[in-house]
Chain A
Amino acid sequence: MIEERRLEAALRRAGGALPLPANGPASILRRARDEGLAPLEDDGVEPPRFGHRRLILAATAAVIVVGLSIAIPLATSSTTPTATASGLTPLPGHSSASASAGVPAASDAGGSIGAEQRAAVGGPVAPAGSSAAPAGPRTPALIASSGTLTLRVGAGSVAQDAHDLAVLAERAGGYVASASLLSAASPPSGSVVVEIPAKAFTSAISAAERLGTLRSLATSNADETTTSSNLVGELQALDDVRAQLEVLLGRTAKVSDLLAVENQIQAVETQIDQLQAAQRALGSEITYARLTVDLDTSQPSRTEVSRHGFALAWHDATTGFLGGVRYLVSISGDVVFALLLLVAAVAILALILRELLPRLRRRLL
């Protein structure tokens, strides 16, 4: 390795010894005069020249990516039912009859329960894990859920299990709607009806299952969106009618007309009250899911599998694991798409910067 000082000295000597062209500067001056060189009209800074082809390619790719990222969500949102929670819309001037209504989970709680099969009963059933189709493009789905759970419990534990169900309901934010215990009967049995907030329905079912041996479970999800929308529409219409009647009331001159209009108004208000009551009831059905738990103490069948302790824990663990896997698979599509967009955006940005940065550095001289 040559020492820097020595190299510098040698190179300066070597370069300095080079003779200069005799007419070098003169030829430059002559050429400047001949060409009539003058500064450019602009500030004289040469604009950076990009690789035009690369720039066009990068710009086109960016437009495509941006367009897709806008278009695809718009396209999918118009076909995918929304699952946002929303209460019933109260009419102005009327008392609110709504609370936030959650969208309960699907009917099937998963897992095998031996001989008995799970069945979906009841009215219109929404697809598992999703809400029903909204009544309009922007109307969130309103789902009324219910379920019937049959548990095998010990003969002497009917009362205790009923109490546990009540505690479970209260912890979930619900309440016991009714309870019927036949402890003296042979065999003893009981039935407890609890109202659980819709968003806690699934977890409440899982918790209730642990109180005994699951014999059967049936859930249903009824889409009440249309019903709710119809109620709102009818109430609005009746309110408009009442408003018109009140205007008419102010214009009546005769007593007979006055009485007739008042009767009409009273009839309309009665209808409004009835519809409001229906609206409140529907709101309650959507806000709270009804779970009927039947406590059965009869002897288990030979083919039925009894789960307690570790077996029950294992069952819960595998159920939970499979549920988690299902969730990950369901969101993987969105995640992969988002990652692809991100990679494309980063690649385009890197390409553009690779073209720009060297030229910017030179311009900063």
Chain B
Amino acid sequence: MDHREPPIQSPHGESEAPISDFAKHRFVVMIAGSIVIALLLVVVSMQLYFSSGTAQLDLSRPGYKAVRDQLRTESTYDGFSGSGPINEAALKDFKELYDKRAKDASADAFDGDALSDKSLGIDTPVAQ
């Protein structure tokens, strides 16, 4: 026996192909598909945010409000020019720029004392 849906008759008496379920619900499918794609992109971008190291540099996150004013903004530092002759003036210019930066970088950072067991109060108790 033939189980195909009978052709739909149009108002003008012509036969039309039956409409599939997908076609009937295409608006819902479009909305659902958009949500799925958006969620996928969110997952990918969050993964990139954490894996690339950007998260460590992002001080707009909650918990860093108190330390944001410690940031040094350097929008106007031009550095040494990469083109031009090499003469005494250029060498002197470079030395001044470099010595200043080297002085800023001479301070130590990230030493381990702050994380010692004693400073955190989690060292082995002394036997009494």
Q: Do A and B bind each other?
A: no
Q: B-contacting residues of A (Cβ < 8 Å)?
A: none
